[in-house]
Chains A and B, each alone.
Chain A
Amino acid sequence: MPAIAARGLVKTYGKQRALDGLTIEVPEGTVFGLLGPNGAGKSTTIKILTTLTAPDSGTAHVVGHDVTRNPGRVRLAIGCVSQKISVDPWATGRENLVLHGGLYGMRPRDLRRRADELLERFDLKAAADRLTRTYSGGMQRKLDVAMGLIHRPKVLFLDEPTTGLDPEARAAMWTEIAALSRDEGLTILLTTHYLEEADKLASTLAIVDRGRVVALGTPEGLKSELRGDAVQVELAEAGDAMRAQRALERLTTEITAAGRSLRARADDGAAAVPAVLAALDAAGVAVLSVTVARPSLDDVYLRHAGRVFEEVAA
């Protein structure tokens, strides 16, 4: 039985179709990444799976229970960490944890022990009895995740867990998340618009665009689906893009242009560079830089969604 199974989810807000037949299946004990730009439907998917809202059509099961028919069962089994840090600023870290755990019906003694354990694990012990409004963003985020774990859930939902964190806090959070799935056998559904994050944490990845899954696989598998290396050319003049594209047609494949930058694929990127430069020179196109990279998730996204990731994410 998969930990999460969503089939054909549709959700519209007014005229906006947030989800358009989204289907995913997450095996127990894995980290599943939903990757896509803002507005792709990631958060809506999480809201449905965590029983906050109902889909217009489609079904969703979490740990075997239907989210609309049996939300109580689902709620007992899941932990949720939303996009926004949601801790009570007028309560201490410990009070936040204990109140939240109490809502799951945990026994007071077990609850106290579990709160201590999590405060220790997330390195919040020294700050445990301070009001959380005095915490840094990184500390609040850690408490946020700790609250999601207080009742030992089977499935943890992390909606953009590192958005708004500085690079150091982000790296620390990645280490924590990786450890959670490894040590506790927790199933994690993670949404992110950071390609690096998805690459690092998720064992299976679904690329979401306009409310549907456009690609599914392991990060490695998705990357190896792309033939060859990514070649990126920065042109001096955006007006040259068309000419440059034509000049490269025989040397590379999958050429796309966006403003002054051109992306293409070549079987052996390093070897292709001199030929690319020569061809552009012959066509009279001035070049600022040429870079060659192993395929990244960025390229995967570009290929499946037909757009460059950063542009939509911005």
Chain B
Amino acid sequence: MSTITARPEPMVRGQFVRHAGYFMTRGLRALLRQPMFVVITLIQPMIWLLLFGQLFRRIVELPGFGAGDYLDFLLPGVLIMTALFSSGWSGAAFVDDMERGIMDRVLTTPVRRGALITGSILHNAIVYVVQACIVLVTAWLMGATIGPGVLLALVAAILMVAGFASLSNAIALLARTTEALIGATQLLVLPLMFLSSTMMAEQVMPGWIATVAAYNPVNWAVVAAREAMAGTVDWLHLGLLAALTLLLGFASTRAFRAYNRSL
């Protein structure tokens, strides 16, 4: 079977950024026009912080936990968790578009497939930055210490957003149903989160979880964000995250081929 490849044509060459911008705008516009979604999007990250902050407050008293204040320990974790939960749904917009026939219509235009993915990542990143600001303000009001290192922590979180949104989009293109996407996302998000130092210091984890966490990208992001907040740069984990994000972005662009083949 021959595959249809998407070679850009002169007229649309160099329009990658413009097209990505279109899809970003379209996503943000659709979100803003659904106030219910906006409210959920804004409230959810606060819930994690308040809930887990209270629930596990005394966890720092565990011998060897190694952190003074749980809120300070938890904050980078919640930043990454928010990134994960928020971008995991990215593919839902793709599924909606497939069901409505919009995806097929777009794929008959000369648009580059990568621009669709990039637009989706930008949309998710912007929504995330707003959510992160809410988390940070809430944490600050609760007495967390927030220094300039927070900017680097946000970089780690945005890499997480980009990678996970790409993964979610790829799953959407391959599975093509909301049910499958929700299933796959649930299956990934919670284990990835609990197999990391999001809520629990590595020092007090069972050994096997600490081992798994070392290979868990969510943990890379949490550790990098925590280091950043503490004023150090964790090049290794940031580099690993960046590489993974690029890989996932590429894979999701390739997933369009599988989608086309299934038509």
Proximity bits, A72-86, B CB within 8 Å = 1, else 0: 110110101011111
Most central of B3, B6, B104 by chain A CB within 10 Å: B104
In the complex, A56 Cα to B1 Cα: how many Å? 5
**A101-109, A280-288, A302-310: which one contacts chain B?**
A101-109
Judging by beta carbons under 8 Å apart, are B109 and A52 in contact? no
Asked, given contacts A54-B1, A56-B1, A71-B7, whether A90 binds B110 with beta carbons under 8 Å apart, the answer is no
A82's partner among B12, B104, B111, B260 (CB-CB below 8 A) is: B104
Proximity bits, A113-152, B CB within 8 Å = 1, else 0: 0000000000000000001000000000000000100000
State the Cβ distance, A186 to closest chain B Cβ, in Å.
16
Task: Check: A99 CB closer than 8 A to any chain B CB.
Answer: yes
State the Cβ distance, B263 to closest chain A Cβ, in Å.
4
Interface residues of A in 45-61 (CB under 8 A from B): 47, 50-56
State the Cβ distance, A146 to closest chain B Cβ, in Å.
13
In the complex, A78 Cα to B95 Cα: how many Å? 25
In the complex, A83 Cα to B33 Cα: how many Å? 27
- Chain B residues with CB under 8 Å of A73's CB are 9
Asked, given contacts A73-B9, A90-B34, A105-B12, whether A52 binds B107 with beta carbons under 8 Å apart, the answer is yes
State the Cβ distance, B94 to closest chain A Cβ, in Å.
13
- Chain A residues with CB under 8 Å of B34's CB are 90
Judging by beta carbons under 8 Å apart, are B105 and A53 in contact? no
Interface residues of A in 35-69 (CB under 8 A from B): 47, 50-56, 67-68
B108's partner among A50, A85, A90 (CB-CB below 8 A) is: A50
In the complex, A237 Cα to B263 Cα: how many Å? 46
Task: Check: B8 CB closer than 8 A to any chain A CB.
Answer: yes
In the complex, A32 Cα to B22 Cα: how many Å? 34
Judging by beta carbons under 8 Å apart, are A53 and B4 in contact? yes
Task: Check: B36 CB closer than 8 A to any chain A CB.
Answer: no
Task: Check: B15 CB closer than 8 A to any chain A CB.
Answer: yes
A76's partner among B11, B33, B105 (CB-CB below 8 A) is: B11
Interface residues of B in 3-55 (CB under 8 A from A): 3-9, 11-12, 15, 18-19, 22, 26, 29-30, 33-34
Task: Check: B102 CB closer than 8 A to any chain A CB.
Answer: yes
In the complex, A68 Cα to B6 Cα: how many Å? 9
Task: Check: A89 CB closer than 8 A to any chain B CB.
Answer: yes
Judging by beta carbons under 8 Å apart, are A72 and B22 in contact? no
Task: Check: B106 CB closer than 8 A to any chain A CB.
Answer: yes
Smallest CB gap from A85: residue in B: B101
B residues near A, CB below 8 A? 1-9, 11-12, 15, 18-19, 22, 26, 29-30, 33-34, 100-102, 104-111, 260-261, 263
| 13 residue pairs bridging A and B, Cβ less than 8 Å apart | A47-B263, A52-B104, A52-B108, A52-B263, A54-B3, A76-B9, A76-B110, A82-B101, A84-B101, A91-B26, A103-B109, A104-B11, A105-B12
Q: Which 7 interchain pairs have the tightest Cβ spacing?
A: A86-B101, A72-B9, A90-B30, A84-B101, A103-B109, A53-B263, A75-B110
